[in-house]
């Protein structure tokens, strides 16, 4: 039996969006094309002069890798040529990129937020990295785009997904009607449906957090980590600790086998460190569509109102029952949730 390709699947599902008239389908295909090109370079990174530092910093103050810049260029080129996207917000640029000034994109109906290469600090070490994308529909096409149109709630996403470049390359996405995963078949150069109707288990046996920051975590996160480490046969504890350092890779594992990923607020980042628009919102959209849950600790990720392109947030995301347990710990400390001093552990 032949496998269904990403292009075939998108066309079949096009009727789910009668207002789109094919534009969203073409936009998703454009993203798939960029992902194939990036995958090619990632897979030959050890052979080509594309490893190491680019020699500049992005807006986050992080050193850019050569592949960061390359991936960003590929996405922007694909979205510009495709003509369906009118605006791009990228981790690698301080301001957004208004594509509506280009003749081919002047009538574009979609806004795309991207993290072109998540986990790129691992690329020199041959560890899985990924790309994250989030798509919003324009509210007004008869006037110049405004920042209010860009800064929409995560719940208003019309599509979101990620690509993971690892032992195999997968594109996982949702248009709000479930989650489907496609594996790249290098023999034909096509993403083929391999993981239909993905569902995250309600519980899991792994927790993922950078425990090197333990002393800087708020007390409710510390208490939850201790809970994960305590032995209890009824709840299959202790849990196993797994932390890759690439959010896409950690979330992909969590989606497949269940578990929880935590990136809480710390003394250094009291609002959290991960970016809302192009990391947390799209991955929260995916996890919720698969039956999981994503919160900041205080509120649902998809209900946070963005105020600027590079807004940061804390996040707790994964299997529904595990996230709800963290919320219980938060509720127990709610009246005293403050970032701990280094002396209080």
Task: Give the pLDDT confidence of 226-239 residue by residue, as tens digits.
Answer: 999 999 988 889 99
Shared domain check, 238 and 212:
yes
Specify whether 41 is located in the same domain as 168.
yes
308 and 265 in one domain?
Answer: yes
The neighbour count for residue 148, using CB atoms within 10 Å, is: 9
Question: Cα–Cα distances in Å, from 188 out to 5, 169, 185, 258?
Answer: 10, 13, 6, 31
Q: Determine whether the annotation assigns residue 19 to a binding site.
A: no
- Please indicate, yes or no, if residue 343 is contained in any of the structural domains: no
Q: Are residues 177 and 234 in the same domain?
A: no
Mark whether 223 and 109 lie in a shared domain: no
Burial of 45 (0-12, 13-18, 19+ CB in 10 A): buried
Instruction: Report if residue 303 sits inside a domain.
Output: yes
Please indicate whether residue 290 or residue 141 has the higher confidence score (pLDDT): 290
**Cα–Cα distances in Å, from 276 out to 105, 211, 294?**
26, 22, 12
Is 243 annotated for ligand binding? yes
User: How far is residue 176's CA from residue 16's CA, in Å, rounded to a whole number?
Assistant: 10
Instruction: Please indicate, yes or no, whether residues 113 and 218 belong to a single structural domain of this protein.
Output: no
| 210 belongs to an annotated ligand binding site | yes
Give the residue from 133, 162, 195 where a domain finishes. 195
Lowest-pLDDT choice from 72-76, 141-145, 187-191: 141-145
Q: Is 117 annotated as contributing to ligand binding?
A: yes
Give domain status of residue 321, yes or no. yes
**Is it true that the peptide bond before 124 is cis, omega within 30 degrees of 0?**
no
Based on the fold, state whether residues 191 and 212 are members of the same structural domain.
Answer: no
Whole-model pTM: value is 0.89
249 and 180 assigned to the same domain: no
Residues 160 and 31 in one domain: yes
The total of structural domains in the chain comes to: 2
Host domain of residue 248: 206-336
Instruction: Give the range with max mean pLDDT: 60-64, 195-199, 264-268.
Output: 195-199
226 is in an annotated binding site: no
């Amino acid at each position: 039996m032949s496998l269904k390709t990403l292009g075939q699947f998108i066309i079949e599902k096009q009727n789910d969006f009668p207002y789109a008239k094919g534009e969203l389908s073409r936009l998703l295909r454009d993203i798939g094309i960029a992902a194939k090109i990036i995958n090619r370079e990632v897979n030959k990174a050890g052979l080509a002069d594309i490893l190491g530092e680019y020699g500049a910093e992005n807006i986050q103050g992080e050193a850019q890798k050569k592949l960061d810049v390359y991936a960003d260029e590929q996405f922007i080129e694909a979205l510009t040529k495709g003509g369906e996207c009118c605006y791009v917000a990228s981790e690698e640029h301080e301001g957004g990129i208004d594509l509506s000034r280009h003749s081919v994109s002047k009538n574009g109906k979609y806004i795309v937020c991207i993290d072109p290469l998540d986990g790129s600090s691992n690329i020199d070490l041959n560890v899985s990295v990924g790309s994250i994308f989030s798509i919003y529909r324009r509210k007004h096409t008869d006037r110049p785009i405004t920042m209010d149109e860009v800064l929409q709630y995560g719940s208003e996403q019309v599509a979101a997904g990620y690509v993971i470049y690892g032992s195999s390359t997968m594109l996982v996405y949702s248009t709000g009607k479930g989650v489907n995963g496609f594996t790249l078949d290098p023999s034909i150069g096509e993403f083929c449906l391999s993981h239909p109707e993905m569902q995250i288990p309600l519980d899991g046996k792994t927790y993922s957090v950078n425990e090197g920051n333990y002393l800087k975590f708020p007390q409710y996160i510390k208490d939850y980590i201790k809970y994960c480490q305590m032995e209890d046969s009824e709840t299959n504890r202790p849990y196993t600790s797994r932390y890759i350092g690439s959010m896409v890779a950690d979330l992909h594992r969590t989606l497949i086998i269940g578990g929880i990923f935590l990136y809480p607020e710390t003394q250094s980042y009291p609002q959290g460190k991960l970016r809302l628009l192009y990391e947390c919102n799209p991955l929260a959209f995916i996890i919720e569509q698969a039956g999981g849950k994503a919160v900041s600790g205080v509120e649902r990720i998809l209900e946070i109102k963005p105020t600027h392109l590079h807004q940061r947030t804390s996040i707790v995301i994964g299997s529904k029952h595990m996230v709800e347990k963290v919320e219980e710990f938060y509720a127990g400390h709610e009246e005293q949730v403050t970032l701990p001093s280094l002396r209080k552990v």
